[in-house]
Structure 1
Amino acid sequence: MRCTLGRLCLYGTVLNSVDTIEESIRSVFRPDADIVITDGGSRDGTYEKLLEISKDYNLRVYRAPGSSRGLGRQLALIRCPEGSYTAYFDLDNEYNVYFHKSIDWGMATGSPRPLGHLYSKEYLLSRGGWRDLNYAEDNELWARVGFDYYLPVVFGRPIKTVGTGLGREASRYFQGITGFTKRTLRTSLDLIRGLGLKPIDLVKLFDKSRLALLLPAYIIASLQGIYRHDKFLNNYELNFYNMLKKLKDPVKEIKADERYVVFAIPYKVAYHIGVSWIDRRLRAIGLRPYKCRQMSWGESIVGVRSLNAIEAVNDYFHFNFFEAQSCRPLEAAEER
């Protein structure tokens, strides 16, 4: 099915991010696009700030106190104009030119689901839209709805760095010990549900310190319903598999600077999918695979055109996303 949509709607959800929202919105703003934001009940002036800048950035702002990230995005998506392509963005991030180039390229394909962050509104809603999840909502959506192409290019970065993984939850999301406990439990449940995890996946993907919480949470998640969309792969693995299967060269397709062309996958996931196949898929678009340590994943396979990309990405993020000194050509690392 080919789309001939010309209208674009950018959308997202936000909670207590008054210090980052304008910088984020400024980076995605374009005169040809509507921007729709759901505020999840901010207490720090975020909602008021959005109203204040709404005319400057063609914003439509709505409140939905207590909404999860998935529900907030769904409510914003529904309010995007009919017959438009829709691209979501994270209001804690700022975006570069490749965010916009990827959108323009995706719309030009005519596909209703060209990229993981770009869908026609009607197509996405017809596949169920966003689940009411506060974590892994994007992984669940990609695994269920799918996408036709993947461009391995860095097109955004956090405006502020607040750690990684389950521990990155900042105090802006909760109040007091009770709030922290509820938030931690909700995050654990949604992680399991959104990634479609089984107990064996928990053991495979997480260290022992986190299993003490995640294994009991699995029982509750099972009662709520776990969203798994492949018999053999969990949603996290399935998405990496589909990204690799549908790789397109950003240098060729959107004239990307090769220093920003990077594909990375945790080694434990790569091992399950197939290291040799991944090697071939990366080389097919001109990327050389290395084995490097990544900040939150540990050992990873990283595909780049040259190791200059590792330093360029670290510089762009303003922290060492990859440990450059740890990188070795994959074939040499495998022989050790």
Structure 2
Amino acid sequence: MIKLLDRYIFKEILSPFLLGVLLLTFLLLLNQILTLTEWVIDKGISILTVADLFVRMLPSFFLLTIPMAIAFATILAFNRLSFDHELIALSVSGIRVSRVLRPVFMFSVMVVFLTLLMGNLSAHWGTSSLKSTAIRMLKEKIGVGLEAGRFTEIFPGLMIYAESITDATKMDRVFIYDRRSPQHPPHVIVARSGFLMNNVGVVGLELQNGAVYTHNNLTNQRISFASYSLKVRLPLPQSPASVDGKNVQDWEKQQIAVQKKYSLAYASFLFCFLGVPLGMISGKGGRLGPFVAGILLILLYYALYNVGDYFFPPNGGASAMASWVPNMVLTPITILLFIFYTDETAFARILRKCQRGKEG
């Protein structure tokens, strides 16, 4: 009976949890899906590259949707158990309310580890793999976007014209107008031939047999070259050990991301237990009650998160504490509600009131 009860309540939470993760992730990804589709259709980026980027984006979205999904799942599960009088039946059968909470604790531990896993994957893919995928997309965009006989702005301030293009990489009779740097005057590059570079962390062109023309202080300058590399360097991720004083802000951002990961994992644990009393309370609201309670809980959490950002701004020394403000507020609320609604005497009294309210 006990093992059967564990499986029953576990399944009651698992089904809405999985559905909630899929639905909430889809809603958050909807705008990105439209953007990625536009890249394939309009920009010519390969489907495999876009699919790779899409997969690498998922952990960062799961990190947000898992806590929201577990909040809805536990509220829905205990709302149904309360609404269908199953909790009353268990109480009459001699099963204490605290016994019903064991599968909730098991599920909360599983969700905490899942949230931490998504946080680690998001941190890794968001720095190294995701940037390497972005570099590959830029190279594909250049190769696909260049058209023979037309001026193409492959980067802001960098205009390229090639009379002929072969294999999407090799160009003949190249004209380039470069005005990317505000500290230096614009210059024109003319070359007999060129090809796209394919180095790690670098996107650019390798030009042969040409000249660079610059107009500065009413003087014209011409520099001939046999080989010239036009590079656009992209920042590669740094390990914490390589961060120096010039990158203190980047290091602070990393610390904020770490604290956010742990705070969301704790929020997942908190929502598991907060959903129990909220599900019982929302039972009086019928089938719509848990949805209203879940939405209000999520809105309250992110409102408190914004309050944390206000009191602990990103440029402050304690900015990493901002993500913990909602947890610090909701933890005592959860403890009070949880103790009150799982107390055996109070529990029976509340259920009787709910039952009389439905019959009345």
Structures share a fold, TM > 0.5? no
Larger radius of gyration: 2
Identify the structure with the greater helix proportion. Answer: 2
Tell me which interval the TM-score lies in, with the shorter structure as reference length. Answer: under 0.3
TM-score (norm 2): 0.22
* Higher normalized contact order (CA 8 Å, seq sep 6+, divided by chain length): 2
TM-score (norm 1): 0.23
